Structure formats: structure tokens, C-alpha cells
Structure 1
């Protein structure tokens, strides 16, 4: 081991909890060893879950160190703490029922040196537990912390059996929760039934993410359901996809046909594009014989409409000449309108005349 290298180990404090990295120093450690560790909350007892590894260069964050391998006294202290946690759970449950608080107590955790006791609970809303904390501190003579958790952490702490008949993944081995979406169920062709795809916590099951990447890789290049495509086995509409078998089923005029995805990709460039549904319906409404007849028929010239009326001396119908005379009459009307003064101009003239008439009347007087 070089001067700049650092030996590290992975440690868990509880079953299915997160794995933390600690500096092992010069201690000879291996998976399964119980060790006493230095943490931010004080000393703690944990179990090594990974073999020692050498870290080249300084770590991104300063690491806490392993103090020693746990001895018999440390293991005895751990057993006493487990008994104390069971007693604290019963006492806290009684206090909650006496005060009728809307909270569900899940578990109790006492630190290795009992400098603090943490109570984990679940509740739909906020809870005023100040009086409860004072009562617990008076009984146990230590620091008390009340920590509220969500529904997924509640299932992890309590445990249970899933719809598969096995122990919950989060309680057995799953250390961190991954985000789950409905798109993962769609990519695996799972029916979107909330009762079928939800766990005991009421959220989407974590196992939906286990095979999601594999399904995405297998279905890459596969046409979507409902799309109309042309294949070497015929033209039709995609009605079903078999992702694990890497094939899809199309509905053609002859019935359902299963098309292998690899053959479809290999011959995709040799096939013409499929007709759209509108073009398909138009072709079904108009048979090919009728379309050919319509194309072969020559277009007949339209006859001009004859206007009935008496002919003039020049031989043109009187009605046509009357139509030609109409624009001239309209022009005459426009000229008359232009020559006549508008209503506003008439009012102005009347206003100008009135004062002159009043002067003449004064002179006559």
C-alpha cells in the first residue's frame, strides 16, 4: 500500500440499510466482522459488508474511521440496548394512547452509548408531540428525538410479504429507493391496474424498475401498437408486441401474422411505405375498376348558358345589352351623388346663413 493510498471498508448499521464507507486504517478486517465506529452521532456498532479496498488519492469527503473490532463487552452492550429499545417502545406507545395523538409508532433506536434515543413514527399530518418528548425525557433521562417517516420507509421498517409471496425487497436487501414511474409498467406490457402494480405502501412497486432497462433495449426499433406498417409478410396494423421474443403481431387481410423483429429490420429498406388509414379507406370505398374508368373518361366541355331575350339590330340579345347598360347607370348615380352636397356640408351652409339673416332683421327694425 502506497503512502497516498487509503484502505476503506463498507459498513451497515442495520439490515437492508445504506452502506457507508469508513477508513479501516491498519486493522485487518473482513466481511461479517462486527466493529465499533466513529460517526457524527457518536460511537456506533456496525457490520462490515465488503472487503477492504485501497483508495488512491485523498477522498472527496473526509471519512470517519473504524475504532476497533467489537469485543465481548461491546456485544453485551448491544444486547442491553436492544432490550432497552423494546421497553422504550412499550412506554412510548402507552404515552401516545394516553394523549390520543394521531401517530403510529414504528420503531425505537438507541445509540451505542445511549446519549440519544430516536423514535420513528408515521402520521398523515403534523403532530404536536412536545408534551410527549418532555415525558419521555423525564422517564429515560436522555435526549429524545421524534422522527417522522414516509409510507415507503414505514413498509421498510415494519416489513411484510409482497404479492409475489416473498418478503418485501425493501425490508430484506434494498438499501435505497429508486424513482418509479408508470412508463416502466407500460414498457413491460403490464396492465395499468393500481391494485396489481402497487405495493403494500400504496406506491408503485419497486420491482418495476428491475427489468425496465432490459425491456427498453429489447424493444428498441420495434413499431408501436396501432401503427400501420409494411412487412415482408404483408401490410397491416400492429396489434401486439412480444418484447421478450423480439417479435410483434400485425393484423392483415388474411388475419394475424407474427413478424420477427430482426427480419423486419433487415428488410425494412426493401419495402415500400405502408398506406395510411385514410388512403386505405378511400381505396376500399372506390374499387380499382371504378377509378380506372374515371381516369379514362374524357372531360366534356361545358356549354355556355344561353340568355333568353329579343335580338337587337346587331344580332346581340337584348338582355346582354341591358347588362352592359347597367354599369353606365351606376356611374351616373355616383356622379350625381358627388355633385350633390353631403348632409354635413348643408348644415355648415345653414349655420353661416343664420347670422346674416339676423343682421338684416335688425336693420329693418
Structure 2
């Protein structure tokens, strides 16, 4: 059985390392409690069920996660990657430690914020989070320029007394972490279901006949909204064979220019210095064909 393209992508993103082949065991899909991202992990426990909480080993350390897909026999898949393992089922103590770590993370955030202010560093803190065993705290921040945080690390190490990782992220990742409500009235896609960010270009807006108003086309991150990508392929298909915007044609003994096309409804807006009319796309195509034949 071959993995789907999405499953292969998820597995490649599951913090895998060297090549290996498994003779037995299972693949299980989990989502970190602290985020909406899902990954595949290796487990020998086939009794795991959806919504079971587990402790997994990641490149950051131990993390608490929830099972979102039942285990699948690993021998059914073509797999050349070594997956990080599910360490164990989560215990009551693990869940309690997770809650304690949330409170500790808030304190770490405040301490780091004070240190940043004292050292006058040009960086904006976004979030602090501990690994499950509290052996490391990850401080996430954004900055326009490179920041020399050597002094900051010394200050934090003395006050927090654990390993410290300072992680700089971009504006899109910031929106993913912070969240918010989009122009559509729903929670941001990046903070709910998007795993990775696709490349978005202004040509996608042009392809969908959208007004090139950058302010309206930009999301909370200041970049072009991700949803421009969702229907781009369909618009590309629907635009095949359409007349060009600005093309001139004769109608009722007058010359009109195609001003806009609604590819979903088939409505075409024609403009002349004296008049504006709306025709269906089929009518416009007939006019163009008759003009060619004539």
C-alpha cells in the first residue's frame, strides 16, 4: 500500500531523521496539544484510539499530544524514513505537569519581557512554552533585524535555571500562533487547519478578477491572504477560452469593450462611452465568433 501525497508530506514533516525499514509496529497520527499541527509517529501499541492522549518524542523534547487517527500497520506502507516514537500513553501526572507548565510559561514570558526591556533589544515576544518534562523553555519572538541575545540568554539562564531556546519566526507564523478572525468572519485558516504555508502571489488575485487592493487582499500577517490559493486552480480551468478583458466587439451597431467577466455566473459587463450592458458569456462568445466569420 502506497502513502498518499499528503501522508508522505506529513511523514516527512514528522521530525524524522535517518533512513530505516520497520519489520513491525504501527503508524499513528497525533496532534500536539499546544498547537494544531499533526504528525505521524511510530508506536508498538495498536490499542491506541482517537482522542487518547500520549507522550511523544520530538526534536524539542517530550510533548503531550492527542491521537487523531487509529494506528495503521506499518508494513502496509512504503516507508524509508525513521519516525520519532510515541513514548507512552499520557498519565494523570503528565496532564497535571502540562497544566503546571502553562503557568510556568506565563511566568517565563514575563521574566523574558522584563529582560528584553532592560537590555533594550529590538524584538517582540510572542509566546513561551515548556517541554513536558520542563527541561527546556522555548521563547518565540519576531524581529525586523538580527538580534544579539547573548546577554539575554545569560540573564534568562540565571533566572529560569533550565535550557533555553530562542526561536525567531516570521509574520505568518506569528498569526498562526496568535490567531484571530479573518475577513470572512471565521477563525484564521493558519491557526485552525493549515499545516504549511503555500506560496501566494498577486497573479492569483489577477487570475480571479479581484480588485488589486493590497489592503483588502492582505491578512493579519500583512502578507497576501492564503485563501487566494484555494480556488486558483478552478479559476484557471474556468478561464480557459474566455475573451480578454479590454477586447472590443460590435453589439447593436455600437462598439463595446469587455470591462469584466464573472466566471462563476457567466455574466460579462460591456462598456461604451454612452452605455453599459450585461450579457451572458455564451452570447459574447457568439458575437466574437460571428465577427471572426464575418
d(CA) in 2 for partners of 1:16, 1:173: 10
Retained in 1: the 8 A contact 2:249–2:287? no
How far is 1:248 from its partner?
2.4
| In the alignment, structure 1 residue 216 sits paired with structure 2 residue 236 | yes
Task: Say if 1:236 and 1:250, in contact at 8 Å, map to a contact too.
Answer: yes
Structure 1 spans left out of the alignment, 5+ residues: 276-365
- Higher RCO structure (Cα 8 Å, ≥6 apart): 2
Match of 1:138 among 150, 155, 158: 158
1:35 aligns with 2:54: yes
More helix by share: 1
Q: Does 1:86 align with 2:80?
A: no
Deviation at 1:130, TM superposition (A): 0.5
Secondary structure at the aligned position of 1:249 is classed as strand
Deviation at 1:61?
Answer: 0.7
The alpha-carbon distance between structure 1 residues 158 and 86, as it changes in their structure 2 partners (threshold 3 A), is same
Moved over 4 A (4+): 3-6, 233-236, 251-259, 262-265, 267-270
Provide the residue aligned with 1:350 in structure 2: none
Normalised by the length of structure 1, the TM-score is 0.66
Are 2:142 and 1:122 aligned? yes
Matched, 1:23 2:31: no
Give me the TM-score of the superposition, normalised by structure 2: 0.81
1:13 is matched with 32
Give secondary structure in 2 for the equivalent of 1:163: coil
In terms of fraction of residues, the more strand-rich structure is: 2
Q: What are structure 2's unaligned runs of at least 5 residues?
A: 1-21
Q: Confirm or deny: 8 A CA contact 1:151 1:201 kept in the other structure.
A: yes
**1:162 to partner: Cα distance:** 2.8
Q: Which residue number corresponds to residue 4 of structure 2? A: none
The aligned runs of 1:310-349 (5 Å cut-off) are: none
Match of 2:80 among 56, 60, 66: 60
Larger Rg: 1
Partners of 1:238 and 1:249 within 8 A in 2: yes
Give, in whole Å, the separation in 2 of the partners of 1:235 and 1:274.
17
Quote the Cα distance in structure 2 between the aligned partners of 1:173 and 1:234.
51
Structure 1 residues 143 and 235: alpha-carbon distance in aligned structure 2, compared to 1, 3 A threshold: same
